[in-house]
Structure 1
């Protein structure tokens, strides 16, 4: 029998989705599951985006330009200018989700065997994108005790080799919810210029910043124009995860030229989803004000609830809609499976994402879980109650 590739064998499973079969089996048994494992917002998609699809009278569902609709890229450039990100439409390539933007970025700036430094824990699929591109992830561990703030620049510098091509940041962070300060972003910028590296910033959670703190984009740093690459998406901002529309943004012409060849190879991003995404840019500010207020409430409910559970520690997020919690257990993946297979409270249980899959360093984060606070207030409160009861029963097995 022919063998699959080493790349296929080494491709990591998603820590967010690999427990789905256990959840499906639990649902088949009639259990209700509160899903804290995945960043699928329950906030309604803006009506203006849905109406653009419902009221469309297209007669031919044709290809778009490989870089995406010109009209959409023009409006995106205007949107970014309002956020102190001065780019034009020719510096934007529309992609099939932020995931494709990251793959295009890896393909454009790295060769097999090159290295990318990433503070961990990080979005688990970075491991997958790196594997697909033949790139080595070099992790630098952020401290739970510091809410996962940027590690010391001296630690970054210690890891830089002749194979290092880029530093990759997620800001605000998934899975940590950490929001980098302007000073931290400037430190990374200075380091990139010193060692002639790219800085890739995954900024898909830009709108989700709390406590009056401002998000600072890597694209806003003067003098970093040839180093900075931004990845973005409509998935979270407009609660449009299923649209699968993102973008790659850079003022570096060579990067855009290389990424464009990858874009041409996959022909074009989806037409209907671009129509919805372009319309979503007309969403009024009131929508975001209400969303931020709602997520701030949910965050506070979750953090306060978790801190009341004996033995649980939590890093307080300032952005996105995730947090990392340390549980008084040894193996979070075993606990997550047990929650779905063997536990119920009035025929209800919860689903969490074991955090070890968000690290590149082996055997790290084994007692941690990522929790997404994307459920309404009442469901979050119930989920916290279920977690407390579950931990007690799990430890007393």
Structure 2
């Protein structure tokens, strides 16, 4: 793996995840209480033995850059040729932001060439999954491929949202459809479709040539899925590689958390009794920044009627430093240093770091960003119209999102007694 360089595209604006991406890039959004979205692809790289990484950033990169410094620098030894370098836009060839995924790599072609890799692995930084990339790289070399594309089996409806691959029995790619209305199924199963995961292994010299050629076309979107891959299929050796899930369960787990709804559902997956995404797997650990905080604490346990004061969390994930002080939590994820005060109820919620929920609050299906203080006796998630009137983001299904830095001070008629 020392001849392999990894390029992670982590510059996405993540507009469909606003307001969670109002102050941070999509890969830096917290996930599962302790993690950031980018931790999953970085853990995959480290567990796969890939220790030469360029992380390309663009929008609102400060939070992501800080997280990389806190969580990931110590895993790499520069003296041994290992590194994880955060690379902001260099604007070497133009004054524009990155015009597409291929353009992002093209504008950093000198940094890639300097490492003299045999292969270049290109990954997205905003998906939740566990995968060993080493077998894919070995397959790429065995087939003497120019490009190898990671693929995922999906349903017909899901296929309409992806680039869909058609391959022969030897996994040679013979066709490609970008977000088709009528996707073509696999030859062996008419109900299965092979979607591109946005995971590519390129022969390095071939990659340089394709990027330079693409950069000369003004009408190109400068995108791997729209331009580079379709143009290469009929001319070069392009292969597909089926996704091998390191969760080792019946169904492969891969999630694009590009919307508030998808992000909420993927987070709620974690609190299942036997979740598909196993975070307790010592064979394939997901690493993250571990702040020096005390263990979570649950206090008060009195019995009796409507005035019951009991600190409890059921079917939930509770991170270090959190205190559930006489409140009740169910089917929720509490980040570090969260405080739930007495008689409050929190159901089906995601609370980021240092959120405080006041006494007698009622929260249901609410995502609360870092550091927000919920005033006592506040009710959120029960009346969508009232929540919109307060300025909160409310999705079609009724999920409420409270942005970071939100100052909550309600008039008496907005507070539930």
Compute the TM-score of the two structures, normalised by the length of structure 1: 0.29
| Structure of higher RCO (CA pairs closer than 8 Å, 6+ residues apart) | 1
**Bigger helix fraction:** 1
**Bigger strand fraction:** 2
